[in-house]
Amino acid sequence: MNNKRETIDGGLIEYNEAWKKQEALFNATIDRKMKDEPTNNSLIFCEHPHVYTLGKSGDEHNMLLNYIQLQAKDATFVKSNRGGDITYHGPGQVVGYPIFDLANFNLGLKQYIHKIEEAIINTLALYAIPTTRLEGATGVWLDVGLPTCRKICAIGVRSSRFVTMHGFALNVNTQLEYFSHINPCGFIDKGVTSMQKELGAEVDMEKLKATLRKSIEEQFAE
Report the alpha-carbon distance of residue 142 to residue 163 in Å, rounded: 30
Report the alpha-carbon distance of residue 117 to residue 140 in Å, rounded: 6
Residues 6+ apart with CB under 8 A from 28: none
Contact 144, 190 (CB under 8 A): no
Coil/strand/helix, residue 125: helix
DSSP conformation letters of 18-69? HHHHHHHHHHHHHHHHHTT-----EEEEEE-SSEEEE-TT--GGGB---HHH
Report the alpha-carbon distance of residue 158 to residue 26 in Å, rounded: 10
Residue 69, beta-bridge partner list: none
Contact 156, 82 (CB under 8 A): yes
Give, in degrees to the nearest 5, the angle at Cα 132 between 57 and 218.
95
Coil/strand/helix, residue 71: helix
The residues that are catalytic are 185
